[in-house]
Structure 1
Amino acid sequence: MEEEKKLEGHSEENSYIRMKKFKFIMLIFLLVFSTAGITLIALSFGDEKAVSVAIPERKEFSKLYEAYDMLDEKYYEKVDHKKLIDGAIAGMVKALDDPYSDYMTKEENEKFQESISASFQGIGAEIQELNGEIVVVSPIKGSPAEKAGLKPNDKIITVDDKNIQGMSANEAVLLIRGEKGTKVTLGIQRPDNHEIIKMTITRDEIPINTVYPEMLENGVAKIQITTFSKHTYDDLTTALKEMEDKGMKSLIIDLRRNPGGLLDQAIGIANLFVPEGKNIVQVEYRDGTIEKTVAKGGKKINVPTVVLIDKGSASASEILAGAVSETVGIPLIGDKSFGKGTVQTADNFEDGSNVKYTMAKWLTPDGNWIHKKGIEPDYKVSLPEYANLSYIDPDKELKLSSASGEVKSAEEMLKVLGYKPGKIDGFYDTDTEKAVKTFQKDEKLKENGILTGETTVKLMNSLTEHIQKNDSQVKKAIEVISKEK
């Protein structure tokens, strides 16, 4: 490969390559990149004959070859040729200024494939690179990331104190993921808040269970879809059968914090609701060609249905939400969705690396492009402010006379849970200490009035349980669905 690069690099001197004389016969195959694609040229050499072969000149590559040769010959240390090539390709893709297009090395590609398989080890969060920053799209349900309090739109500034600004999403993933039981510390910045929150998360096995059914009161079935992986459609049909056997009279599909996934899975699920012959999604290519995917026949879900969305609902989630909203009029409830209206594909190289790039944009059944705009719900209902309280590091010790933003978060959590921490001002006074002691007593923990370790974890988990029991978006969904029966 190195020799091939050098041969092509001399094309600016002459568009012909003059080969030396050989005393034996040999056959060389050169792969020459042309505007039409890859051309295979066979060169045959014999005894005393010199052969000249024309090669189409690519002047736009001469600068690239020159830079490669310059570094290879003049850099003060020996360079890694593979890294140079990987870097050149990565830079080319980055120049597209598209957060959804990436060059993945073999290692990065393997991590990506893990994320859509049965399980992987890490913290369990979907991230993306946006304007040079690593942003959380959504944590996976039940993952260490969710339990720690990671939220959509959180910016990850550091990983184990290493600044990751300017990194690609794939580079960041390699730093964040790791073996089960190991810890990683993220420096998080929330929207409209310049304070860096240090969040230490213990990595775990992240099962890709994507469908979570439960039967609520009065025959209302709620099924949460957390992402669209290889088995989501099959798991959903199994869950629907389970809910039908339990007397399902109406259905809530929960797509909140679902960052998307495989397009075919979203289309298959949409087909359960969209009438035969109607559009599910339209894909528009760069030449203006539009490819429509229409619903097929087969089993359809006919019970009254609503769909929950929020700012963490992206990509395939938005395809499903847009399809059922525009074709069947299924109400959408919650917050405006994320707004990702493009489709990606990946081409592999022989060494296991690949390029993932945007190859089209997708439109809703009615031809709307929701990219960077999101989908507005029919009923806008947000969770209460306390659902967005900042994470408290369990490794820190908050006690009498402590003062910080984390103390203020703790005071607000205690108040929401029915305790009396006194003034919510970020200062750990005697009222705060008394409230912590009462909380510890109720939870059968050591009553020392210090917020750390198990007490901190239990406080945050109690708040999560409170939010789930008092889910304003689910309550609105039940209200809306009861009127449709």
Structure 2
Amino acid sequence: MVRKSFVALLLVGVLAIGAAPGDTLFSPLGQVYQLIHDYYYRADKISDSTLLHGAIRGVVESLGDPYSTFFTPEEYQSWEESLSGEYSGVGIEITLRDGRITVVAPFPGTPAEAGGIRPGDWIQAVDGELTEGWTLEKASSHIRGPEGTVVVLTVQHDDGTVEEIPLVRQKIQIESVCSEYRAEEKVGYVQILRFDFDTPGLLGRALFSFPLQDLAGIVIDLRNNPGGILSAAVESASYFVDRGPIVRVQGPSFGERTYSSRGNSVPNIPVAIMVNEGTASAAEIMAGAIQDHSMGILVGRPTFGKGLVQEIVMRLPDGGAIKLTTGEYFTPLGRTVHDVGLTPEILVERTEGEEGDPELEAALAWIRDGAPIPVGAGR
């Protein structure tokens, strides 16, 4: 066990970062720590790391921000594994919206998609346990689990129907970029499922596999893309955006940061970006940049609207970490994305049970028609 005096000092020090010299605002935390060891009847059963983690978690949760999180060492390791695109679970991205555990998007080819989980679903319970008051990390840890085991999600769909959906967990391996050349239309189709560290390289490989000089257009599918790493979105958008800003980020610790393109490497040919209510975060960065620079249009339905940026701001000696929302991002033209989303130039409403792919058909039709820029909707 870590020495008590060290843990008490670390606990107060961690929570008093930025306090003025002599400031005693957080000194009661050290006193509480000592009182627990002196008076709590089962103090010998409580580890110092449990007390430290509980105090830090409480402070972070008091922010009321669903995206700011304290990770235990185990939680942080699991989170990092999810960024690699491989983990054991059901294949959904979740967020907190109005206090509810909400599905951003199920990933294609996963148990969640096959089981009928949809963007916007409210997960009311996991294995019968109500999710009211849960953090994202608690929800994620309950939904993930050993491969081959079953988790039952009770979800409420947008139409108000409630359904219990049993899902068998499996190894989730997400190849972030898929592509094909549609020779009959002379169109390159690229689907980006999420923005990982390897996404820009995979996107470049896909784009340059097409006969670029002969293309009539490119379709980028960002539907149900829940986002990922900001830098990956900036690099990906840079393939299409001429020199200029990709995204502007504002935060109290750094003021304003502008992430810019160094000049596009793909010829200026028509680009249609397919989006929907599951398009979020980093995917909205790429879509918004291409839309604002008039390098392409958006086709589909309004996007999710997550315009916040998170960073790991601290690593604890035991392997834990603190992730905070450090800023809000805006499109190159200064448009707000958070809780607003992006509106496509070509709106395509999908009806229940509709066959085919109406968004893709609309994108291809736009390219066939000579890629006219519709007036009014997108900006």
Could you tell me which of 214, 234, 246 is aligned with 2:180? 214
Instruction: Please give the secondary structure, in 2, of the residue aligned with 1:273.
Output: coil
| Residue 63, structure 1, aligned to residue 65, structure 2 | no
Superposition RMSD in Å: 2.5
Could you tell me which of 291, 297, 308 is aligned with 2:274? 308
- 1:9-48 to 2 correspondence within 5 Å? 36=18
Q: Which residue of 2 aligns with 1:3?
A: 5
Q: Which residue of 2 aligns with 1:337?
A: 303
| Residue 360, structure 1, aligned to residue 362, structure 2 | no
In structure 2, what residue type is equivalent to 1:474?
Answer: L
Pick closer, same or farther for the CA change 1:134–1:471 going to 2, 3 Å. Answer: same
* Contact 2:212–2:267 (CA under 8 A) maintained in structure 1: no
Could you tell me which of 345, 353, 357 is aligned with 1:471? 357
Pick closer, same or farther for the CA change 1:89–1:234 going to 2, 3 Å. Answer: same
| Residue 321, structure 1, aligned to residue 287, structure 2 | yes
| Residue 162, structure 1, aligned to residue 129, structure 2 | yes
| Residue 225, structure 1, aligned to residue 192, structure 2 | yes
Q: Which residue of 2 aligns with 1:148?
A: 115
Matched residue count: 365
Pick closer, same or farther for the CA change 1:135–1:71 going to 2, 3 Å. Answer: farther
Pick closer, same or farther for the CA change 1:319–1:126 going to 2, 3 Å. Answer: same
Deviation per residue, 1:431-458 (Å, 9 max, x gap): xxxxxxxxxxxxxxxxxxxxxxxxxxxx
Pick closer, same or farther for the CA change 1:130–1:91 going to 2, 3 Å. Answer: farther
Distance in 2 (alpha carbons) for counterparts of 1:96 and 1:308: 35
Identical positions, percent? 33
| Residue 480, structure 1, aligned to residue 377, structure 2 | no
In structure 1, what residue type is equivalent to 2:318?
Answer: D
In structure 2, what residue type is equivalent to 1:231?
Answer: D
Shift of 1:251: 0.9
In structure 2, what residue type is equivalent to 1:318?
Answer: E
Pick closer, same or farther for the CA change 1:32–1:111 going to 2, 3 Å. Answer: closer
Deviation per residue, 1:216-237 (Å, 9 max, x gap): 3311222111100121111111
Shift of 1:140: 1.2
Deviation per residue, 1:305-362 (Å, 9 max, x gap): 1111111100111100110001124111111111111111002212111111111111
Shift of 1:381: 0.9
| Residue 260, structure 1, aligned to residue 227, structure 2 | yes
- 1:56-455 to 2 correspondence within 5 Å? 56-78=21-43, 79-193=46-160, 195-216=161-182, 217-244=184-211, 248-276=215-243, 278-286=244-252, 289-297=255-263, 299-346=265-312, 347-386=314-353
Shift of 1:369: 1.7
Pick closer, same or farther for the CA change 1:366–1:350 going to 2, 3 Å. Answer: same
Shift of 1:146: 1.0
* Contact 1:273–1:328 (CA under 8 A) maintained in structure 2: no
In structure 2, what residue type is equivalent to 1:170?
Answer: E
* Contact 2:241–2:264 (CA under 8 A) maintained in structure 1: no
Pick closer, same or farther for the CA change 1:203–1:6 going to 2, 3 Å. Answer: closer
* Contact 2:273–2:297 (CA under 8 A) maintained in structure 1: yes
Distance in 1 (alpha carbons) for counterparts of 2:213 and 2:295: 26
Deviation per residue, 1:48-84 (Å, 9 max, x gap): xxxxxxxx54321133334334444433433333222
In structure 1, what residue type is equivalent to 2:351?
Answer: P
Shift of 1:7: 7.1
Distance in 2 (alpha carbons) for counterparts of 1:80 and 1:125: 34
Pick closer, same or farther for the CA change 1:354–1:34 going to 2, 3 Å. Answer: closer
Distance in 2 (alpha carbons) for counterparts of 1:316 and 1:6: 39
**Hey, which of these two has a bigger chunk of helix by percent?**
1
Specify every segment of 5 or more residues in structure 2 that has no aligned partner in the other structure, as ranges: 372-379
Distance in 1 (alpha carbons) for counterparts of 2:298 and 2:136: 30
Shift of 1:254: 0.7
* Contact 2:241–2:263 (CA under 8 A) maintained in structure 1: no
Once the two structures are overlaid, the 10-residue window that deviates more, 209-218 or 245-254, is 245-254
Q: Which residue of 2 aligns with 1:19?
A: none
* Contact 2:240–2:295 (CA under 8 A) maintained in structure 1: no
Shift of 1:107: 0.9
In structure 2, what residue type is equivalent to 1:83?
Answer: T
* Contact 1:266–1:317 (CA under 8 A) maintained in structure 2: yes
Distance in 2 (alpha carbons) for counterparts of 1:287 and 1:6: 28
Specify every segment of 5 or more residues in structure 1 that has no aligned partner in the other structure, as ranges: 12-30, 39-55, 388-466
Distance in 1 (alpha carbons) for counterparts of 2:146 and 2:333: 45
Shift of 1:297: 3.0
In structure 1, what residue type is equivalent to 2:73?
Answer: K
Instruction: Please give the secondary structure, in 2, of the residue aligned with 1:110.
Output: helix
Instruction: Please give the secondary structure, in 2, of the residue aligned with 1:243.
Output: coil
